[in-house]
Amino acid sequence: MPLLVYCITETSASVEVPTTGVNGLTVEAVKHGELQCFVSRSTADISISGLQLRNAALTFHGVLEKIFEQTAIIPFRFPTVLPREPELIAYMAEHSVEYRAALTRLRDVVQMEIKLQFKDSRLLPSLAEPSSSRATDMKPSGREYLQKIRARQEKLEVAAKDLRQACLFFTKGWRQRDSNEGIRCFALVERASVVKFQTQIRTVTLEDDLDARLSGPWPASQFLKEE
Amino acid sequence: MEEGPAMSSPKNSILVTDTHSGDETSLLDILDHVLNAGVVIRGSIVISLAGVDLVYLGLDVILTSIETALKHLQNDVPKSNS
């Protein structure tokens, strides 16, 4: 019987789960040792049509969110479907030590995410854009182009550093990575400090051409592995 | 857990978005997280696109298909609350 898997928690966590999940299927726990995985079983192959996809993804998120409000979770990507329960048990057994350690470490923390980018939403400046030092009918040289890219990247990195510094007191961890649009920053924050973190991060003033958006709290999926 | 305030930035400071607001930005944030964050294991799924079932493709392949499909679906996301 196929199983759509939502997330893994500690069995010690007393969790109230939504009655139904994706496609109206019941949500239940499959336990193995000190871990439990929340799943929906289906007597037939789990099928999600293109038109239902967005709603199914949002329902999936709703289940995760409800559980995440109560305890730390290790979420699966949507949609992850395993053909039978033994495959899930085997997976949980294989990752038991790693996941137990992560859930213990992340028990009282959440992940806040900052998307930092230029307002023009282009990481790479246009080749057609002339520099001020050149005639307007001339395109910048390759060197100028690369210098522009480097300057923009450095500007983003400085802003990310400022953000990190500003909320250092409220963060238990920080990770960041480049994206197509700019830099994505992930802060590990205690559940009880989320509002303080949000307030603190808003005190940072960005350069005029930069844009940053904070979202969360999310499950600490960027911090599952210790650095 | 504390509920975060939904607020806009007074000048050029950080915009704090509320994932419960239901607006387009928060919706895309949620879809981004559901599809791109979290553990990936190999599995299988039946997904129907344009009335055609794609049966038991590897999950890695399916995830790519869904991301592509979502790009189209996101164009249908209402501009106001969903």
Ordered DSSP codes for B3-53: PPPPB--SSSBPEEP-TTS--HHHHHHHHHHHHHSSB----EEEEEETTEE
CA A169, CA A179: separation in Å to the nearest integer? 26
> What SS3 state is found at A2?
coil
Cβ–Cβ below 8 Å for A206 and B29: no
Other residues' Cβ atoms within 10 Å of the Cβ of residue A214? 23
Give yes or no for residue A46 having a pLDDT over 50.
Answer: yes
Name A65's Cβ contacts closer than 8 Å, sequence gap at least 6. Answer: none
Give tens-digit pLDDT for B9-52: 446 778 887 777 767 778 888 888 888 887 877 655 555 455 55
CA B71, CA B74: separation in Å to the nearest integer? 5
Q: What is the dihedral of CA A71, A74, A80, A84, to 10 degrees?
A: -80
Cβ–Cβ below 8 Å for B39 and A74: yes
Shortest Cα distance from B42 to chain A (angstroms)?
A: 8
Cβ–Cβ below 8 Å for B43 and A211: no
Q: In what helix (H) or strand (E) does residue A185 lie, and over which residues does it extend? A: strand A182-190
Give tens-digit pLDDT for A59-113: 999 999 999 999 999 999 888 888 789 989 999 999 999 999 999 999 999 999 9
ipTM confidence: 0.78
Tell me, what DSSP letter sits at residue A45? Answer: -
Between A5-9, A29-33, B74-78, the lowest mean confidence (pLDDT) is in B74-78
Shortest Cα distance from B67 to chain A (angstroms)?
A: 10
Residues 1-60 of A with CB under 8 A from B: 2, 5, 7-8, 45-50, 53-54, 57-58, 60
Which residue of A lies nearest to B11 if distances are taken between CA atoms? A205
Q: Which amino acid type is present at position A200?
A: Q
Cβ–Cβ below 8 Å for B11 and A205: yes
> What SS3 state is found at A144?
helix
A137, β-bridge pairs: none
pTM of the model: 0.77
Which residue of B lies nearest to A114 if distances are taken between CA atoms? B14
Tell me which chain A residues have a C-beta less than 8 angstroms from the C-beta of B32: none
Which residue of B lies nearest to A66 if distances are taken between CA atoms? B1
Tell me, what DSSP letter sits at residue A223? Answer: G
